[in-house]
Each structure stands twice: as structure tokens, then as C-alpha cells.
Chains A and B, each alone.
Chain A
């Protein structure tokens, strides 16, 4: 009995390791899921400049290529604001985002209205990663919106979302 438990524990470890490898393999080249969180390594100067003016330049690996295409085609009505860029910048940023987009199959799943998911905060990944965050934190005026990564992820601007660098506002 003892032995069989031991074996099953080992098997479970093995399964977890396999899962971790499988997950890592699904991540695009531009992102690393190091221990403790996401570290973005894929960057592009135009993406950084244009996308970080109003908010953190969200990592390409957080949405599917289909989603990014839809985001980039709707910049004139970008979550309630006009965020349009010129044709050359649009082409460059779209190519960068698509190349480094999430490869996870569930991120390519259409949202409730049958369209590509546009909000990172509504992806299953985001919801799972943030399920420990209390409602009090979300309602803090210093946070304001779940889109405000840098409110808690102190190095978000640098693409570092490691949980060791999280500091919740009081």
C-alpha cells in the first residue's frame, strides 16, 4: 500500500513536470513563464512607444493572433477611445503581436458574442492568475481598472510580472 502511494506520488510529479513542459512549449518565443510569473522578452520599439502611451504595453503572449488582429483593426474605437496609429505603425505592430501571440488553444476560443476575445482581463488565464486578489484591491482608486497592471506589478513597464515584484496598494 505504502509502495503504491509512493509510485502514484512519483507519477503525479512526473505528470506535473510533463504538463509544465507542455505548457512551456506552448508559450511563444517572446515570453518565459519563469518561476513566479511572466517575463516578457519579445519587444519591438514601435509597439513599445505606441502601446505604452496610455497603458502598459501589454505582452503579445497574452492574447491569440486572432485577438490581436481584431484589436489592431479596431484601434479607432479602442475600448471607448480613439487610439488609431498610421498605416506603417499598424502594419509593424500587428506583425509583431501576431508573431509573438499566445499559442494556447483556449485563448483562440471566441468570446460570448462569437468574436475574438479582446480583453486580456477576460481570458481564462488572467482570471485564474488573479483569483486570489480580493475585491477590496480591485476597488482601490489607485488600481481603478484591472487593465492597470502597474498598480500592483511594479515592474510591468519592463515586462516583468514576477510575483516577487508585486506590491498591492494599501
Chain B
């Protein structure tokens, strides 16, 4: 009986371990879809008349200036599937569209940190859940 058990265990280990060890997809805290769902929840709470997110509105928001000198695309570029460049320091910025950079929008703390900073730079205020969701809908629209 104990022999049988250890045989099963060895079998189980040998079949599980290669998967665990050699998996190529890193594990992230959340998916961009879950991040978007969080924005939706926040938008519903903020505005009872919430009509959903719009990629077209997100694109316009992303590429327009909002009273200050910079837009989102000033540093991220008009095409979020390729590298951007920080307008002041020239530092390269990895693509924003999740299909072209799998790390994007998978860490809520990072998402919150950057929206806080960048909305402050571009709009001198925090962005609404509607605006953040529109932008993410726009970015998630790019497929490989």
C-alpha cells in the first residue's frame, strides 16, 4: 500500500514539477480585465448614470492636452504599442498596451501610483474612474 502511494506521489510530482518550474508565463496579481472591472465598480459608485467605458473617448483623452503642456501621449507616444520616451529626461518608457507589455495593469498599487502622478502632471487633478476606464479600454483594444 505504501509502495503504491509513493509511486503515485512520484508520478504526481514528476508531472506537476515540470509545469511549475518551466512555465513561461509569469504570475501577476491581477489581469488587465480585473483592473478594468475595478474601474467599472468605482465608476458605478461615483456616477449612477454610468454608461460603460469607451475606447474612442479613451483615445481622445490620451492624446489631448487638458490645460497643461503635456498629454499622456507626450511621454507614452501616440502609439501605445511601441516604446515611449520621457519628454524631460529622454528615459525610455515600455509600451502601455497590455498585449505588447504583459506587466501592464497587473498590479493595482502600481496602477494607482502612476494614475495619481500622471493625472496630476497632465490635468492638475486626480482622474475619474470613468477616465481611467476609458483609457484602459483604449489600451486593451490593441491586439497582437
Contact = CB atoms under 8 A, between A and B. Distances in A.
Contacts, number: 41
Contacts of B117: 81-84
A148 B89 contact: yes
Contacts of A79: 88
Interface residues of B, number: 12
Contacts of A142: 90
Contacts of A80: 88
Given A85-B113, A86-B113, A76 B88 contact: no
Interface of A is mostly: loop
B113 A54 contact: no
A147 interface: yes
A60 interface: no
A145 B89 contact: yes
B121 interface: yes
A81 B90 CA distance: 14
A129 B11 CA distance: 65
Contacts of B113: 84-86
Nearest to A53: B91
Contacts of B121: 81-82
Contacts of A76: 120
Given A85-B113, A86-B113, A147 B89 contact: yes
A82 B88 CA distance: 13
A55 B89 contact: yes
